[in-house]
Amino acid sequence: MKFVFSTFLILISAGMNIVIAQTNYKLVSDIPYRTETEQAADEYVAERCKLDLYYPENTKDFTTVVWFHGGGLTGGEKFIPEKLKENGIAVIGVNYRLYPKVKCPVYIEDAAAAVAWAFKNIENYGGNKDKIVVSGHSAGGYLTSMIGLDKHYLADFGIDADDIAMLVPFSGHTITHFTVREERGIPGTQPIIDEYAPLYFVKAKTPPLVLITGDRELEMLGRYEENAYMYRMMKVAGNQQTKLLELDGFDHGGMASPALELLLKEIQSLNQ
């Protein structure tokens, strides 16, 4: 299904003549990002492994944000964040398979498949594959970090994770996700760092990584402290491309709206 959106930019020349340039935005819904064979073999793949693409139709070389929804890896639905609309960028909202119908690492593999779709297809819509940003809130932030830091997920699709222009996880776990621990019978209060923890992949060379959390006193399950430790260990490892931003006064859910504004600010550098 396709919908068209429009916005107007008023450009005033030196002679004060007013020129109105129209930018049309199109939404293409429910694009499968898994192969036809995979969809035919698994009804849940056919149901969940889809994405929505919102893009500026008459623009070239634009930045694309791949956006993963939250929901603890057990719920949630793809959407295009309102604050990202009509900003001259494309946004890809992704659905992925959920626990308990699947277990780790299936949802991470789905996230990688969706990002690989962006790399392989966005230029067909006018975008630039060198300007692909990956972001998401909560569980979506966790998926963002996992596929951007553990390079084998994207390598399975022939993509180098270091080619991601920027990683911007919102309030994502940097230890092993609590749902992954639940799958193993590990209490949510017992932190684990293993191959399903972004912290396991601390290193000097990564895409630019912008860690955003809510207020440390209001966040969920020590989420600020996890991200602060990730930031510090990246610095210890010699990584110069990681930053940490804390949104004072905002809790885990409330931080997403102002974080979207920070995301837009951060990606401005890609158009310079």
pLDDT score of 8 more than 60:
no
Question: Between residues 49 and 4, which one has the greater pLDDT?
Answer: 49
Residue type, 141: G
Q: Mean pLDDT, to the nearest integer, of 190-213?
A: 98
Res. 86 pLDDT band, cuts 50 70 90: very high
Q: Which residue has the higher pLDDT, 62 or 7?
A: 62
Looking at every residue in the chain, the average pLDDT score rounds to 94
| pLDDT attached to residue 21 | 63
Average the pLDDT over 34-59 and give the result. Answer: 98
If one counts every other C-beta atom within 10 angstroms of the C-beta of residue 40, the result is 10
Q: What is the pLDDT of residue 73?
A: 98
Is 0.75 topped by the overall pTM? yes
pLDDT, residue 7, reads 44
**pLDDT digit string, tens, across residues 110-149:** 999 999 999 999 999 999 999 999 999 999 999 999 999 9
What pLDDT, on a 0 to 100 scale, did the predictor assign at position 13?
42
pLDDT at 227 exceeding the cut of 70:
yes
What is the average pLDDT across 90-95?
98
Under the banding of pLDDT at 50, 70 and 90, the label for residue 9 is very low
Task: Quote the pLDDT of residue 271.
Answer: 81
Q: Does 14 have pLDDT greater than 50?
A: no
pLDDT for the residue 22? 83
**Taking Cα atoms as reference points, which of 195, 34, 31 lies closest to residue 116?**
34
- For 263, other C-beta atoms within 10 Å of its C-beta total 23
Which domains does the chain possess? 28-271 (3.40.50.1820)
pLDDT, position 10: 40
How does pLDDT run across 146-193, given as a tens digit for each residue? 999 999 999 999 999 999 999 999 999 999 999 999 999 999 899 999
